[in-house]
Structure 1
Amino acid sequence: MLQRFATNTAGTDYVVGDIHGCYDLLVRELKRAGFDYQRDRLFCVGDLIDRGPSSLECLQLPFEPWFHSVRGNHELLAHDAFELGRWGMWLLNGGVWVRDEDPQEVRERLREALPHMPYAFEIEVEGARVGIVHAEPPTDWSMIVPGDDALEHHLVWSRRRIERRDTSRVTGIDGVVVGHTILREPLWLGNVYYIDTGAFTTGRLTLIRLVDVIRMIGE
């Protein structure tokens, strides 16, 4: 449910928005940032797959030692298609790429990737704690506990905060980074930072150092 990471004393931690199959775009942004694959870590807000041109390649990312992603609603749509036969919703929401791949290979890679993709991350950065979920955190970070189906759905699907432009702070955490909702520019609502800038439609994939997220919270 929640995976915690200690401070990266060897390199720099980054967070990236919804990749959505845009593997080449991710590689370009990492090169532009000077990402060190041996020392740095990249955290993703989920939705590795669907809509972009390289979903299967992106589904390999959770096995890289430098890459960490929470699960997004698109990973769960794919899971429900393969495991529960709910194909309609996934295909309507960008899953049609599976028709050009070996479905069994996609199914097996997804099965192996999901255990590496919890619902939430908590990362120590310069003495502060940054949380990451896909869509929306609870009002209190301590509410993230295993076995709560309603909370799991909220973490990967909810848009209540951004629809209401709710600027209340999430308690129990310094800041939270999320994706899920496409915006022209990253947006702060309270201490929640929305960074999905629509890579598959705009060609803009937001990549930012977590230390900069912490510094923006303090401004």
Structure 2
Amino acid sequence: MQITSRDFRNVFIVTDVHGNYEVLMEGLKLAGHSVKKDALISLGDCIDRNNGSFNTLCHFLFAANTFSLRGNHEDAAVKGFCDFDRENYHLIIANGGTWTFNHDETALENIFKLVDEKFPVAIELVHNGKIIGLTHAGIPGGDFRELTKSNPDRVAQYSAMTQFEKALSQSDETFAERDFIKGASLCVHGHTIMPLSPRLAGNQLYLDTACQSADYLIDSIEPSAFLTILKFNEAGHAELLRIFRDDYSKIQIDTPFGHIEEQINALIQ
């Protein structure tokens, strides 16, 4: 799938919303999102771990100018509910899928058939004449051009982020040099939680900052959980927006990642 940013006023990218529908919708409102004028792209894992999973999934299936990749949670759900694979069914239930108990199994089968049809493994975003590669968790092989939306089994490869996790313990210089992806000026992923801040390594931006129920978070990162929105604005620049709940549980927005924005914009200008 290819999306061109000039067809929209702004392009908003989120990831790993995990059914946190209220935070998503209020965050988009605070960020100035318009369904009619702007594109919204999820990098996958719209579902599980929160009871807003069904509404979140329906939003990315049916709302205008709204797109989503297939994450590993959607992949397991497709296999569990459409292919009747019991192993994947139990996997999804064990990883936050108990929300499915509130819905008819035939309805779930039908909606996950739509997911199978509509959610690709990769999206090519054309912005300022540059290619921005979007995947759920990574790019095995190191070349975005090798990916095709017709090969959903690659989701399993994207989820095997051992190399990335090991690289976190190395210097930024070594990490950036080794993980500069070919075939795209910038690549954006979710899946792997980045405590405190999204992380840019080479030309790969990791956007998952744990927008999910606190029950599923590691204690050491729980206080820092929030939704990060990557916005490509009508001027052509990238912005990183933090959506979070304050001490009174009110949803707020701020922009504390200016240093990362500068690095992103250097890659895409």
CA distance in structure 2 between the partners assigned to 1:9 and 1:57 by the alignment = 26
Shift of the 24–149 alpha-carbon distance from structure 1 to 2, 3 Å rule, reads closer
Find the residue that maps to 1:42 and give its secondary structure. strand
Give the letter aligned to residue 126 of structure 1. N
TM-score between the two structures when normalised by the length of structure 2: 0.74
Question: In the alignment, what sits opposite 2:86?
Answer: 85
CA distance in structure 1 between the partners assigned to 2:22 and 2:120 by the alignment = 25
Question: In the alignment, what sits opposite 2:170?
Answer: none
Question: In the alignment, what sits opposite 1:216?
Answer: 263
1:30 aligns with 2:9: no
CA distance in structure 1 between the partners assigned to 2:144 and 2:152 by the alignment = 16
Question: In the alignment, what sits opposite 1:197?
Answer: 209
Question: In the alignment, what sits opposite 1:177?
Answer: 188
Give the letter aligned to residue 106 of structure 2. Q
1:118-167: CA deviations, max 9, x gaps? 00001111121111100111301121136657634213x12134213242
Shift of the 129–149 alpha-carbon distance from structure 1 to 2, 3 Å rule, reads closer
Shift of the 118–148 alpha-carbon distance from structure 1 to 2, 3 Å rule, reads closer
CA distance in structure 1 between the partners assigned to 2:107 and 2:7 by the alignment = 37
Structure 2 spans left out of the alignment, 5+ residues? 168-174, 215-221, 240-260
CA distance in structure 2 between the partners assigned to 1:50 and 1:162 by the alignment = 24
The within-5 A match list for 1:68-217 is 68-82=67-81, 83=83, 84-86=85-87, 87-138=89-140, 139-145=142-148, 151-155=154-158, 157-165=159-167, 166-167=175-176, 168-184=179-195, 185-200=197-212, 201=214, 204-210=226-232, 211-212=237-238, 216-217=263-264
More deviation, 201-210/69-78: 201-210
Give the letter aligned to residue 85 of structure 1. R
Give the letter aligned to residue 173 of structure 1. A
Find the residue that maps to 1:121 and give its secondary structure. strand
Give the letter aligned to residue 81 of structure 1. G
Contact kept, 8 Å, 1:44 with 1:70, in 2: the verdict is: yes
**Identity rate of aligned residues, in percent?**
27
Find the residue that maps to 1:18 and give its secondary structure. coil
Q: CA deviation at 1:112?
A: 1.4
Shift of the 150–75 alpha-carbon distance from structure 1 to 2, 3 Å rule, reads closer
CA distance in structure 2 between the partners assigned to 1:92 and 1:36 by the alignment = 36
Q: CA deviation at 1:71?
A: 0.3
RMSD (CA atoms): 2.0
Shift of the 144–32 alpha-carbon distance from structure 1 to 2, 3 Å rule, reads same
TM-score between the two structures when normalised by the length of structure 1: 0.90
Number of positions where the alignment pairs a residue of Structure 1 with one of Structure 2: 216
The within-5 A match list for 1:50-65 is 50-61=48-59, 62-65=61-64
Q: Which structure is larger by alpha-carbon Rg, 1 or 2?
A: 2
Higher relative contact order (CA 8 A, sep 6+): 1
Structure 1 spans left out of the alignment, 5+ residues? none
Contact kept, 8 Å, 1:56 with 1:106, in 2: the verdict is: no
- After TM superposition, which residue ranges in structure 1, 4 or more long, deviate above 4 angstroms? 146-150
Give the letter aligned to residue 211 of structure 2. A
1:164-203: CA deviations, max 9, x gaps? 3242200110111100011221011211111111111355
